[in-house]
Every structure is written in structure tokens, then in C-alpha cells.
Amino acid sequence: MKKFTLLFFLILLASVTRSQNWIPLNSGTTKNIRSVFFLNADTGYIVGDSILLKKTTDGGLTWTDLPGSGLDSMSYNSIFFTDAQHGYLAGRTGIILKTTDGGATWGTTILQAYVDCLYSMYFLSQDTGYLVGANTPTSSAIVRTYNGGYPWTYEETFTTKPLRSVYFTDNNTGFAAGDSGTIIHTLDAASTWDKQASGTTRDLHAVYFTDENTGIAAGDSGTILKTQDAGSNWLMIQCGTNDHFRSLHFPLPSIGYVCGTGGHIGYSDDGGIFWTKLYSGTSVDLNSIFFPTPEIGYAVGNNGTILKTTNGGGVGTGKSLPALTFRIHPNPAVDFIFLDLPELMPRAKISVMTISGQVLFEQEVTGIRTQIDMRSLNPSVYLIRYSDQQTSVVKKIVKE
């Protein structure tokens, strides 16, 4: 009886610890939130369906409605601030709003002649920015400004696919990603664009670069791509999920986060090569993630969902990630290795992979100790991925 009580307590403690890593905030709305942007740890903005536009100055504890523009049926899809006073938002019908007073008032531009919907934006300065979207539901659009939005210039995209995300690494070099695995690249500030081979036909919803050469793209069915040569080559990263990713953010070059459907939040501490699923505490689709500091982050999604972490999602304070840990031994190994768990989780499995992420074989985890046969593998370094309904963790092991 004492052993049962202790086990129940440990399971409960682990559940509470995981849930405290991402704390739900009261947004004051049930509308779907499409984008989040923070100037610092306390001051931030959210936008979404039915011209949802809110601001917080206390780290998300309270949210104030701001005056927007447009029809109630219109959605705002993206928001970006260049400094504390100057910001932009964009959405359906090609609507673009600009503020010069921290969101107190907004001027409106509607690009109805050019754009059906704008999905993403990136600004290099207060005056220079780029927005991408769809000219029609089945074609692309790019608009840019060099003078703060007066006027906006429509650019040739050289692709017919809707574009979902845009990122610039300097004044001339930028990338955009979209449907059917589309990635395009400019070296002349969007005057011309070249297509890049992404290696996938899945829709891409986010692209992010940590330096001039290193970038990550993410999209449907667990798709994550990485380049280390400015997009000349994109490598498919194995993530072990079919969830659809919607947003990426890297508060540090080595530390990145992704969010998507089913409440999925993923974490990488090696620049986007290996990803661990964090316990978000929700199954609601998440549409946008943003970290104003390496420790403090916000994820937003459908039904007014806002999640906040103050410890990097459970990884920023040096605490073990996730609360459910496992032990692989012996390491190095010769023939067999053993997986030891503190508790058995539903739908748990082990994947043995090459160092590049190719899955060699998988097996179910049926007890707190699982034996894995490594005899058929050549001596090398391998990856062992444990995954269940809440967790995905990767560790290295040497086969001698």
C-alpha cells in the first residue's frame, strides 16, 4: 500500500511539474489568436480573428483591447514592432495597419487590388519591411515598403503558391516559405526571387534564420528543414510527429522553439537538428510562439489560448527535461542496451536512428525496463529516441 501511495504521489508530482512550465493566461477572448509579438518580457501584442487586437504591459496578466480597423469577419494574421512606438499588423483582404504611438491609434491601408490575404511580415527597420501572402487562394503575393508604408509596392514572386512566412537576414537577402514545400530566395531586396529545392511538397508555415547561412523551416506533418548554406541545400529533420507546425522562434542561435496543432511545443538546443516535445498542458492548436528573452516565452492559439513560460518551457533553469526521464545503459554498448523508466507511459516507443536522424528500427515500450538489440548495427554513434503521448527525448549512444 505504501509503494502504491508513493508511486501515485510521484506521478502526480511529475504531472504538476510539467504543467507549471507553461502557464495558461486569461486573454479575455475566445477568438482564435493568430500571432504574438513582445517588445520585452512585459509589453506585448496579440492579433487574431474578428479584428482581435490586444496589448499587455504586465507580462500577460491583463490584456487591453486596442482600436483596430476592418470588418468583424476579418482576421489579423501577423503583427511586428520595430520599436516601442512603431508597429504593423496585416491580414485578410490585404489589410495593413500601422501605429506610431505604441498601438493607441492605427492608420489603415488595404491592398485589395493586389492581395487576398497577408500571412506574415518582417521589418528590417522602422521604414523597410516585407509582407507575404496570397494574391488569390491559389497564388502568391509579396509587398514591400522602403518608407514606412507610403506606398506599398507589389513584387513579382516567381511562384504560384501562397506564401506563409518571410525572413530577411540583411538589407538584401531574404527567404519566403509557403505551400507545397515552396521556398524562394532573394539577393536584391525582393526585386527578384529564385526558387530553392526544399525536398518536400508539404505546406511550410514558418521560416527563421539564426545567421546569414543557418535557417529552419517548419510546416505540416511534423516537417522541419534545416540549411547551413543559405538554402542551397535543405536537410529534412526527423521529429517523430505528424502534428502540423505553425510558428518558429529562436531566442538564441542554438535555442529554438516550434508550435503547432494539438498543443505541440517543440524545443531544440542544438540549432534545430534535434527536437524534444515539451508538455504544454493543452491540446488546442497553437498558431504563434515568441520569446522576448531566452527564459520568458509566449505561445498563442485557438479559442483565446495564451501560454507563458518563465523557465524556457522547462529547460531554461537547468531542470531535467522532461519531468519523465530515462536511463540508457550500458554506454558504450556491444550487443544489447537497456531503457529504464521511472514509470510506464501509454503509447511509448523507442526509435534507433543514425546520427543524421534516419530511423533504423522502432519497438514498443511495454515495461519500465526494455531491452534493445543492437547486434545488427555496425560500430558507430547512434541516436535513441524515446517518445510517448506527451514527450519526445533523444540521447546519443556509442555501439562498439
3-state secondary structure of 181: helix
Give the CA angle between residues 161, 241, 394 to the nearest 5°.
125
pLDDT value of residue 227: 93
pLDDT at 10: 38
Q: 327-399 architecture in CATH? A: Sandwich (2.60)
CA–CA–CA angle 10, 11, 14 (5° rounding): 85
Parts of the chain belonging to CATH 2.60.40.3080 = 327-399
**All three cell numbers of 172:** 538584401
70 Ramachandran zone, left/alpha/beta (phi>0; psi -120 to 50)? left
Residue 244, pLDDT score: 97
CATH class of the domain at 22-309: mainly beta
Would you say 186 and 163 are in contact if contact means Cβ atoms under 8 Å apart? no
For the chain (length 400 residues), average pLDDT per consecutive 10? Answer: 41 44 96 97 96 96 90 88 94 91 89 81 94 86 89 81 96 96 95 94 97 96 94 88 95 92 91 87 97 94 97 59 64 88 80 79 88 91 77 78
Phi, psi of 3 (to 5 degrees): -65, -40
Residue range(s) of every CATH 2.130.10.10 domain in the chain: 22-309
Q: What is the largest CA-CA distance in the chain?
A: 74
